[in-house]
Amino acid sequence: MTILLYYLLFGFTWLVSLIPFWLLYRISDLLYLITYYLVRYRKETVLENLRNSFPEKSNPEIKQLAKAYYLHFCDFMLESLKCIRIPASELDKRIKLLNPGLLRELSVEGKNFALVSAHYGNWEWLNYLPLKMEHDLLIIFRPLKNKAVNRLSYYMRTRFNAKLIPMESIYRHGLKDKAEMKKFSIWFLADQRPPRISRFWTRFLNQEAPFFEGAEKISRKLGLAVVFLDIQKVRRGYYEVTLKKLFDNAALTGENEVTLSCVNEMEREIIQKPAYWLWSHKRFKHTRPENIKLIAS
pLDDT 10s digits, 60-70: 999 999 999 99
pLDDT at 77: 97
Please state, for a pLDDT cut of 90, what percent of the chain lies above it.
90
Q: Average the pLDDT over 212-224 and give the result.
A: 96
pLDDT exceeds 90 at position 224:
yes
If pLDDT is split at 50, 70 and 90, which confidence band does 121 have? Answer: very high
On the question of pLDDT at 12 being above 90, the answer is: yes
pLDDT at site 253: 97
- Summarised one tens digit per residue, pLDDT across range 134-170 is 999 999 988 888 899 999 999 999 999 999 999 899 9
Tell me the average pLDDT of the chain: 95
User: What is the spatial distance between Cα 79 and Cα 195, in angstroms, rounded to a whole number?
Assistant: 30
Mean pLDDT of 120-128: 96
The pLDDT assigned to 23 comes to: 98
The pLDDT value given to residue 94: 97
Domain count, the chain: 1
pLDDT of res. 290: 87
Residue 241 has pLDDT above 90, yes or no: yes
What's the confidence (pLDDT) of residue 143?
84
Q: What is the DSSP letter of 296?
A: P
Q: What is the mean pLDDT of residues 57-83?
A: 98
Q: pLDDT tier at 2 (50, 70, 90 boundaries)?
A: confident
pLDDT digits (tens, 9 = 90+) for 40-53: 999 999 999 999 99
Strands 163-166 and 136-141, bridge-based pairing:
parallel
Instruction: Supply the pTM of this predicted model.
Output: 0.94
* Res 1 pLDDT > 80: no
pLDDT(188) > 90: yes
What per-residue confidence (pLDDT) applies to 198? 82
Q: Which domain holds residue 201?
A: 2-295
Using the predicted structure, report yes or no on whether residue 122 has a pLDDT greater than 90: yes
> What's the confidence (pLDDT) of residue 44?
96
Selected residue with higher pLDDT from 245 and 198: 245
Q: Which of 2-6, 28-32, 61-65, 237-241 has the lowest mean pLDDT?
A: 2-6
Q: How far apart are CA 185 and CA 207, in angstroms?
A: 31
Q: Is the pLDDT of residue 192 over 80?
A: yes
Average pLDDT of the segment spanning 270-281? 97
Cβ-proximal residues to 2 (8 Å cutoff; 6+ apart), any chain: 147, 148, 151
Tell me how far apart the alpha carbons of residues 133 and 243 are, in angstroms, rounded to a whole number.
Answer: 12
Full strand arrangement of the beta sheet holding 163-166: 95-97, 238-247, 225-235, 113-117, 184-189, 136-141, 163-166
Whether pLDDT at 213 is above 90: yes
Contacts of 277 (CB under 8 A, 6+ apart): 69, 118, 119, 120, 191, 270
- Read off the pLDDT band of 297 (50, 70, 90): confident
- Return the pLDDT at 225: 98
pLDDT of residue 32: 98
